[in-house]
Amino acid sequence: MRLQNKITLFFFIIATAGLALLNAAIFYFVSEFSFEDFYKRLEARVNLAAEINIHPDEHSAAYQEVRTRYLEKLENEHDYIVKIDSGKERTFKKPLNIPDNFYATVITKGRARYSEKNRFYVGVFFETKGGKYMVIVAAEDPYGFKELEGLKKILIIIFIVSIVLSYFSGKIFSYYTVKPVRHIIKSVQNISATNLHSRLNEVTGQDEIAELVLTFNNMLTRLETAFETQNNFVSNASHELRTPLTIISAETELLLSSGPLSQKQENSAKTILRQAEKLGHILSSLLGLAQTGFDGKRQDWERIRVDELVLNVVDAVRKIDAESVLDLDFSRLPEDENMLYTSGNVNLLQLAISNIVLNACKYSSNRPVGIKITSGNNKIIITVSDKGIGIPEEEQQHIFEPFFRASNVGDFEGYGIGLPLTLNIIRLHKGSLGIRSEVQVGTEIQILLPVNSN
């Protein structure tokens, strides 16, 4: 999940949780206030009912008039006057089928409240000269419940509208929050080995974005210095090492052709020439490995048809190793020939594929080597398989390391440079390598290159 979407989701979750708590709190406190108000209205009627029924005197008529004229009649309002026996048991006849703890609370604490659905009860204990009484007033509050139902609907609508607004607010918030990061990503993507001198635009301030930009610029400075040092080394090594090698080879050839030499001298001269040629091959491979490892320049980049490239590789391998046996399998080529094209440097790709095919021929003692081309998932797949000595399983992860040679290749010449060079070339072309091998059974290497159908 992208960072912008994560921020939006996080903002949305927090806002939704906050709105839910706020709406729940509003509904709770409003309902509590509404119930408390209704209970107080019932308690006022309890006191009036007590004055009218328990203390009948000349004021009773006045209390009755106040209740009749100035207090509204509640829905299903009823008064219950309960005479309590003055004995220790305090027995009485229950007027209502409600829980016993309501009556017990009235007697022990002097008053109690109880509600059941939309019906409310208030009871108060009175002790007079004439005896002990329990006065209960019961009524319904349909208007209060309707108001709460209306409030609930309003809060739900407000909640839905608010979470929709919070989602879009989160989108806007995350967009502007991540905008500097997107700018950094875009700037970094435009920097490669060919323009390491470029830098990100510095950001004013001391926040994390400014610190990130400064860190990137410092890293680019270190990379530029390292690349320039390596560039200079490769250029100088190419010139300084090739020149004496050329002189050694030329002087040795001149020595061999200048006149009769003893057998021992001739053998020594041929050994010098042979070793100089090996050293030149090693040097060329090392320079190629170094250049493909860090050079991002795309010189002579072109659209390449892979089946034609493989045919050229086969011709080149047969010239180098006349005893090689190569079996081409083009039976599974895609029907759309545009799926056979990739983009890259034809010389580098030919070198990479040739290295793999030559290795297959060498380590299989020139037994048949299969080369097959297929395609899928917008990739061109070149499969090279042999029936050679194979690679020990525990060593397969190291075969692309420079100068590494498997433990079972002692009888074969090599320098451990060809496969690392091949891997760097394939990676330079946005491709990948896959390997499957078993000792004394054979090896299969797959080269995956991206399709360039345009």
User: Which DSSP string do the residues of 82-140 spell out, in sequence order?
Assistant: EEE--SSS------S-S-HHHHHHHHHHSEEEEEETTEEEEEEEEEETTEEEEEEEEEE
What are phi and psi for residue 295, nearest 5 degrees?
A: -85, 115
Write the CATH number of the domain with boundaries 208-294.
1.10.287
- Under DSSP, is residue 310 helix (H, G, I), strand (E, B) or coil? helix
CATH of 302-450, picked from 3.40.50.620, 3.40.190.10, 3.30.565.10, 3.40.50.150, is 3.30.565.10
- Under DSSP, is residue 439 helix (H, G, I), strand (E, B) or coil? coil
Rg of the chain taking only CA atoms, in angstroms: 47
| One fold for 208-294 and 302-450 | no
pLDDT truncated to tens, each residue of the chain (454 aa)?
A: 788 888 889 989 999 999 999 999 999 999 889 889 889 988 888 888 887 887 666 566 666 776 776 677 888 888 898 888 876 667 788 888 889 899 889 888 999 999 988 899 999 998 887 788 899 999 998 888 888 889 999 999 999 999 999 999 999 988 888 888 888 888 888 876 667 777 888 777 778 888 888 888 888 888 878 777 766 776 677 667 778 888 888 888 888 888 788 888 888 888 888 778 767 766 766 666 566 555 445 456 789 999 999 999 999 888 888 888 999 999 999 888 889 999 988 878 888 899 899 999 988 888 999 999 999 889 999 999 999 999 998 888 888 887 788 887 877 777 677 888 888 889 888 899 999 999 989 999 999 999 987 7
Q: How large is the greatest C-alpha to C-alpha distance in the chain, in angstroms?
A: 158
The string of DSSP letters for 271-293 reads HHHHHHHHHHHHHHHHHHHHHHH
Render the burial of 304-313: b for 16+ CB within 10 Å, e for the rest.
Answer: bebeebbeeb
In this prediction, residue 285 carries a pLDDT of 61
Looking up tokens 């290295």 gives 355
In this prediction, residue 290 carries a pLDDT of 61
Question: How crowded is the C-beta side of 195, counted as CA atoms within 13 Å?
Answer: 10
In this prediction, residue 239 carries a pLDDT of 66
> For 123, left (φ over 0), alpha (ψ -120 to 50), or beta?
beta
Measured over the CA atoms of residue 104, residue 110, residue 116 and residue 119, the dihedral's sign is positive
Instruction: Report which of 278, 361, 279 is spatially closest to residue 313, judged by C-alpha positions.
Output: 361
Could you tell me which residues are beta bridge partners of residue 133? 83, 126
Write the CATH number of the domain with boundaries 3-148.
3.30.450
In this prediction, residue 153 carries a pLDDT of 93
Measured over the CA atoms of residue 84, residue 89, residue 91 and residue 96, the dihedral's sign is positive
In this prediction, residue 296 carries a pLDDT of 46
In this prediction, residue 298 carries a pLDDT of 47
Question: Cβ neighbours of residue 137 under 8 Å, at least 6 residues apart?
Answer: 42, 43, 45, 46, 49, 77, 78, 79, 80, 121, 122
How many C-beta atoms lie closer than 10 Å to residue 405's C-beta?
16
For residues 413 and 409, give the distance between their C-alpha atoms in angstroms, rounded to a whole number.
Answer: 8
List the chain domain ranges.
3-148, 208-294, 302-450
- Under DSSP, is residue 31 helix (H, G, I), strand (E, B) or coil? helix
For residues 68 and 49, give the distance between their C-alpha atoms in angstroms, rounded to a whole number.
Answer: 11
CA angle 64, 69, 74 (to 5 degrees): 90
Q: Strand 119-128 vs strand 131-140: parallel, antiparallel, or unpaired?
A: antiparallel
